């Protein structure tokens, strides 16, 4: 059995990242800005982008971020081949094939159907869900079902939660799991491009050490819990994720019981602090949701009075 069949990654330098997101900009400029930065991080890490061949909106921003930063690093990582694979269908390809941005992509895969396009995109090692519309929701649901039912190799799913975009969806998925209609999915949730880079670096190290895809999935579950610890310890650019990782592994392997307990406590505290921070943000959004619902209720009552 080959490494690929086992689910191992032969070269962590060339990890493939599938990004699913919107073809529109969205009303908040942060969506496009942060997704451009995501593309820059993908290029910085020496990864490859697999995406749905779009030049507009969030997805276009990701592609431009990769291309702009690839040009600066191409000798080191990629040679003269752009680190992007566009996966599309014949109908969409004919719409965009002459676009200036898309003409810079070295490899385009044209599938017969949208179903085959999804399957091809899921050959990536890591899947990132960025802000988007119903197409993004469709891919998120499809990918979760495919992995839970065993049709997809287990792999990390990252939620790029720019300005809390995915809070409602994450809460809904928790309701599905709590109600017995779905298994919990251990999404790795990041709020900005700096957190995303930290997650990428940790995944690169974990993939390098994994025995198979199922172990990689277990590592992703653990990373979702430990990520806030790394974010807290990385106080500035001079602090490297790899050094934090090495120190952590050293304590786990040969540290005393007191050191191990202190590490476990720090990890738990960092996780709780991040979750509390997100809950406060969620409460603020819930307050706005409540105000919107209250306003709608008032207007509905006013309309009803007119018919009495």
pLDDT by residue (tens digit) across 46-67?
899 999 888 889 999 999 999 8
81 falls within a domain: yes
- The predicted model scores a pTM of 0.86
Inside any domain, residue 62? yes
| Position 4 pLDDT exceeds 60 | no
- Between 72 and 22, whose confidence is greater? 22
Domain count, the chain: 1
**What pLDDT was estimated at residue 213?**
62
Q: 225-229 — which CB contacts under 8 Å span 24+ positions?
A: 225/267, 225/271, 226/202, 226/267, 226/271, 227/188, 227/190, 227/195, 227/198, 227/199, 227/202, 227/274, 228/270, 228/271, 228/273, 228/274, 228/275, 229/266, 229/267, 229/270, 229/271
Answer yes or no: is pLDDT of 293 > 90.
no
Mean pLDDT check: name the lowest of 17-21, 218-222, 292-296: 218-222
| Residue 211: predicted pLDDT | 58
Q: Mean per-residue pLDDT for 147-170? A: 88
- Distance in angstroms (rounded) separating the CA atoms of residues 15 and 9: 7
Q: Is the pLDDT of residue 262 over 90?
A: yes
Q: What is the pLDDT of residues 231-250, one digit of tens each?
A: 999 988 899 999 999 999 99
CATH number at residue 189: 3.40.50.450
Please check whether residue 1 lies inside any domain of the structure: no
95, pLDDT greater than 50: yes
Q: Which candidate, 76, 26, 77, 28, places its Cα nearest to that of 49?
A: 77
Query: How far is residue 68's CA from residue 143's CA, in Å, rounded to a whole number?
Result: 29
| Residue 152 pLDDT | 76
Of the spans 4-18, 180-194, 204-218, 238-252, which averages the highest pLDDT? 238-252
Residue 270 forms part of a structural domain: no
Query: Cα dihedral sign for 119, 171, 196, 96?
Result: positive
Tens of pLDDT along 250-259?
999 999 999 9
Residue 43: per-residue pLDDT: 92
- Is residue 249 one of the residues assigned to a domain? no
Average pLDDT, the chain: 85
Domain that holds residue 45: 11-224
More confident residue, 1 or 213: 213
Hey, which residues does 110 pair with through a beta bridge? 88
Residue 33, pLDDT > 80, answer yes
The answer to whether position 293 is within a domain reads: no
Q: Nearest CA to 87 among 56, 49, 44? A: 49
Average pLDDT (176-201) is 91
pLDDT of residue 265: 96
Q: Is the pLDDT of residue 1 over 70?
A: no
Q: How many CA within 13 A on the CB side of residue 237?
A: 0
In a domain, 230, yes or no: no
Given pLDDT bands bounded at 50, 70 and 90, which one contains residue 7?
very low
């Amino acid at each position: 059995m080959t490494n690929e069949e086992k689910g191992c990654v032969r070269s962590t330098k060339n990890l493939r990242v599938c990004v699913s997101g919107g073809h529109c900009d969205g009303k908040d400029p942060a969506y496009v800005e942060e997704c451009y930065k995501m593309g820059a991080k993908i290029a910085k890490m020496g990864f490859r982008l697999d995406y749905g061949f779009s030049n507009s909106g969030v997805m276009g921003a990701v592609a431009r971020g990769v291309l702009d930063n690839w040009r600066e690093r191409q000798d080191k990582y990629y040679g003269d081949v752009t680190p992007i694979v566009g996966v599309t269908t014949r109908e969409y390809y004919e719409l965009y094939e002459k676009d200036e941005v898309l003409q810079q992509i070295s490899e385009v895969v044209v599938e017969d159907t949208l179903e085959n396009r999804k399957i091809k995109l899921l050959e990536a090692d890591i899947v990132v869900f960025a802000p988007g519309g119903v197409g993004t929701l469709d891919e998120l649901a499809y990918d979760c079902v495919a992995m839970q039912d065993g049709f997809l190799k287990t792999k990390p799913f990252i939620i790029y939660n720019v300005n809390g975009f995915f809070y409602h969806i994450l809460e809904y998925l928790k309701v599905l799991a709590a109600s017995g209609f779905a298994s919990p999915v251990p999404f790795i949730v990041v709020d900005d491009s700096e957190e995303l880079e930290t997650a990428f670096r940790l995944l690169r190290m974990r993939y390098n050490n994994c025995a198979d895809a199922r172990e990689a999935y277990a590592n992703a579950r653990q990373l979702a819990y430990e990520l806030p610890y790394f974010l807290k310890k990385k106080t500035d650019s001079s602090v490297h994720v790899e050094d934090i990782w090495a120190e952590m592994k050293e304590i786990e392997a040969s540290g005393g019981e007191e050191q191990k307990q202190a590490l476990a406590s720090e990890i738990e505290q960092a996780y709780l602090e991040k979750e509390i921070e997100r809950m406060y943000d969620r409460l603020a959004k819930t307050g706005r949701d409540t105000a919107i619902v209250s306003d709608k209720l008032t207007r509905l009552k006013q309309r009803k009075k007119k018919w009495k």
